[in-house]
Structure 1
Amino acid sequence: MQNKRIKQEPLKKGVSDQSSAVLLYGGTSFNKKLTERSVNASLPPNLNLSLRISFADIKYATKNFDAKFLVGEGGFGKVYKGTLRSGMKVAVKRSEPGHGQGLKEFETEIIILSQIRHRHLVSLIGYCDEESELILVYEFMEKGTLRDQLYHSNGNPERSSSRFELSWKQRLEICIGAARGLHYLHTGPAGGIIHHDVKSTNILLNENYVAKVGDFGLSKSGLSDPDHFTMGVKGSFGYLDPEYFKTLRFTEKSDVYSFGVVLLEVLCARPAVDNSLLREEASLAEWGMLWQRKGQLEKIIDPLLHGKIKASSLKKFAEISEKCLKAKAAERPDMHEVLWDLTYALQLQEITIDREPHEDSSTNTSLELQLPVICHLPSTRTLIEEEDAQIKEDDGSNTTACEV
């Protein structure tokens, strides 16, 4: 089941998936009408007008929205691959009248993305608001969404023989990249931005599988909204902080909870919610934590990872997920701690232990779990400064040095 975004509407019994297409560059409020506005209505003065792109240029880039360039479709409308006159490849998200992205979300995304730039956040190239159009133009992410890479693009977790299989190391690097992006949002110079809709379809991958967080339509700034209070429930099924339902206060720790669900998705390669399963298995967060409490999380991991994850790395990763999914927000770590632990889990995976000829794998697994690891990780300030400065993309494989 695709995860739908909820916005100021009660949950309805029998709501089904309306689209099995690839969800790129964010979703939208489900069953929500497009905010009406006249052609002559003006956008807020704090929007970056230098990012405006003419409708004529967008039609040129997409060959007048030719169907052969369609790369995604969902409740938000349609996403097209395009090429600007400059030769830059872009993703064009076009809201459709009646059910697409609302004006408020459209404005929020422009305001936030015009203030921030980071190699683990999807870059906004421009926007168009001509002729009642609401169009956002992003850098093109060649490998689509994390969800698409974890299981088949139609939402079916059955394996696709033609799909590139992500190794455990690659999955960890993707998680680290996404964590860096969220950490920057929470603590960066733009000031306390809460994403509000962290999920696997909002983590996109470029041609080198470098992760970038996208879709900021529901994002909130902590500076402008210190209590993070919102009327109505917003977010996506399966990812919402349980404490949020009680208080309607969304904080950085709510993003952390959602990211914990993403971590289990990465490990288990199944949706956050799957109503085709037994009731106790439908919620990935509940099902995963049930097996974690038993100390047997390895029994429900992606079959493709069996025998390919070091016991110590899996143990650390499971601990991170469990901490993120604590019922009480105060007991969850911040994104800097999550980033620290994920880097540690990657280092544990990469540790090479010299084996004697007579030693078998079980002996080495036991030894591996007993080895103390001293990692030199950067401070919070260093992480912010480093990521803010390094806008140029790399292959996402750089890791901190580790001594054993």
Structure 2
Amino acid sequence: MNSASGEGEKSSTMTTGHSCRLFSLAEIESATRNFDDELVIGQGGFGKVYEGRISSEEAGHVVAIKRLDSMSDQGEIEFRAEINLLSTLRHCHLVSLIGYCDENKEMILVYEFMPNGTLYHHLHKAHTPLSWVTRLKIAIGAARGLDYLHTGVGTQHGVIHRDVKTSNILLDDNWAAMISDFGLSKIGPTNQLVSYVDASVKGTFGYLDPEYFYTRKLTRKTDVYAFGVVLFELLSGRLPVDERNGEDQCSLVRWAQKCVKERKLDQMVDSNIKGTIFPKCLKLFAQIADRCVHSVPKERPTMTMVLASLQAVLEVQEKSNQSGNSSGVTGFSWNIHNYFVSGTKPNSGTYTQTFD
């Protein structure tokens, strides 16, 4: 299994101002053999996703075609939002929208095809033996995508995804993470202090920030909370909510927070990766995830800090793998390290401005 490629190979591939192709319904029907169920590769509240082939410069270009179900809760507003957003944003860790079809009451989105499907599938359905380093690289890729959205790089505004979860993290042929499904995303100023009051809370149970649920106030820290749940999923292999684990362990977040508080980190590790995580890396990774799901949004890190911290964890893990030992957190700001360990906010350095 190939792991995701590194930052150096990926950092220069972001652009803006991408134009989407308008497909005719006849083209979509041809690509999907008239919506043949044998080509269905995914299904959710929005409808079905088909693997299809469209005519292009490359003969038989493979794509993912999402057909909105007429009975779905996600309607025209979400459809338009996704087209508008992905026509503006382009990043190596955001799934690319190739085009759409809006004909005869059909609402269809055509995406770049991701050969390895969703992270959710590999963690919870296929039980793919993803290595610890591969999981770290997936987390880093997803963090890069979210950081790009939040900071508004290359755009005038930032974006809150609002539905971060493992089923919305797709994996390409190199197992690099791609953030997908922007139908619920909210565009606004990049100021971290800005919040929006939602008449109706959007998101997915198990990833939903309790503060957002109770106050209806949406900020970038709402995404940070959900990403913390994803980190705990990657570490433990557990579902965000699983009643099979009994009442006291049904919630992944509550169980993981208890493990961190009681310093029982080994209990959190997926059996598939036990014994492969350098102890310092396990401690810091768990602290990062724990900080992301802090009950007070202002105490959560920004995605910029989460990204820097995860990159440091990977650096230490890879050095440990090479030498069998690692003496410290090389190349990692101790201000950031102390923040995750003790909760002390950094008072100097590159990341001071990232806290609100």
TM-score where L is the length of structure 2: 0.83
**Match of residue 81 from structure 2:** 108
**Match of residue 24 from structure 2:** 54
The partner residue of 2:310 within 327, 337, 342 is 342
Instruction: Give distance in 2, aligned partners of 1:109 and 1:100.
Output: 15
Instruction: Give distance in 1, aligned partners of 2:322 and 2:292.
Output: 34
The partner residue of 1:189 within 147, 154, 159 is 154
Instruction: Give distance in 1, aligned partners of 2:322 and 2:196.
Output: 51
The partner residue of 2:35 within 53, 65, 75 is 65
Q: After the TM superposition, which residues 125-274 of structure 1 pair with which residues of structure 2 at under 5 Å, given as runs?
A: 125-153=98-126, 159=127, 164-187=128-151, 188-190=153-155, 191-223=157-189, 226-274=194-242
| 1:142–1:205 Cα contact (<8 Å) kept | yes
The partner residue of 2:97 within 124, 128, 131 is 124
- Secondary structure of 1:127's match? strand
- Secondary structure of 1:122's match? coil
| 2:161–2:185 Cα contact (<8 Å) kept | yes
* More helix as a share of residues: 2
Aligned identity (percent) is 47
Q: After the TM superposition, which residues 328-367 of structure 1 pair with which residues of structure 2 at under 5 Å, given as runs?
A: 328-352=296-320
* Unaligned residue ranges in structure 1 (runs of 5+): 1-46, 154-158, 356-360, 378-404
- Structure 1 or 2, whichever has the larger Rg, is 1
Instruction: Give distance in 1, aligned partners of 2:260 and 2:275.
Output: 18
| 2:158–2:190 Cα contact (<8 Å) kept | no
Letter in 2 for 1:178: A
* Unaligned residue ranges in structure 2 (runs of 5+): 1-16, 334-356
Shift of 1:353: 7.8
Letter in 2 for 1:70: V
Change (3 A) 1:233 1:220: same
Instruction: Give distance in 2, aligned partners of 1:181 and 1:236.
Output: 19
- Secondary structure of 2:104's match? helix
Instruction: Give distance in 1, aligned partners of 2:48 and 2:164.
Output: 20
- Secondary structure of 1:134's match? strand
Shift of 1:257: 0.5
Measured against aligned partners, the alpha-carbon deviations of 1:104-126 in whole angstroms (never above 9, x if no partner) come to 11111111100000000000011
Instruction: Give distance in 2, aligned partners of 1:194 and 1:55.
Output: 31
Change (3 A) 1:83 1:179: same
Shift of 1:48: 8.6
Measured against aligned partners, the alpha-carbon deviations of 1:331-359 in whole angstroms (never above 9, x if no partner) come to 0000010001100111111114888xxxx
Instruction: Give distance in 1, aligned partners of 2:117 and 2:233.
Output: 16
| 1:244–1:250 Cα contact (<8 Å) kept | yes
- Secondary structure of 2:217's match? coil
- Secondary structure of 1:351's match? helix
Matched positions, count: 310
Change (3 A) 1:135 1:48: farther
| 2:160–2:186 Cα contact (<8 Å) kept | yes
Instruction: Give distance in 2, aligned partners of 1:171 and 1:295.
Output: 22
- Secondary structure of 2:248's match? helix
Letter in 1 for 2:331: C
Instruction: Give distance in 1, aligned partners of 2:148 and 2:171.
Output: 18
- Secondary structure of 2:229's match? helix
- Secondary structure of 2:242's match? coil
Instruction: Give distance in 2, aligned partners of 1:306 and 1:125.
Output: 40
Instruction: Give distance in 1, aligned partners of 2:278 and 2:18.
Output: 48
**Match of residue 88 from structure 1:** 61
TM-score where L is the length of structure 1: 0.73
**Match of residue 402 from structure 1:** none
**Match of residue 74 from structure 1:** 44
- Secondary structure of 1:114's match? helix
- Secondary structure of 2:275's match? coil
Instruction: Give distance in 2, aligned partners of 1:352 and 1:126.
Output: 44
Measured against aligned partners, the alpha-carbon deviations of 1:299-338 in whole angstroms (never above 9, x if no partner) come to 1321011111111111110111111011001000000100
- Secondary structure of 2:83's match? helix
Letter in 2 for 1:80: Y
Instruction: Give distance in 2, aligned partners of 1:219 and 1:270.
Output: 26
| 1:108–1:216 Cα contact (<8 Å) kept | yes
Instruction: Give distance in 2, aligned partners of 1:246 and 1:75.
Output: 24
**Match of residue 328 from structure 2:** 372
**Match of residue 99 from structure 1:** 72
Superposition CA RMSD, Å: 2.1
Say which structure, 1 or 2, has more relative contact order (CA 8 Å, 6+ apart). 1
- Secondary structure of 2:55's match? coil
| 2:115–2:173 Cα contact (<8 Å) kept | yes
Change (3 A) 1:286 1:249: same
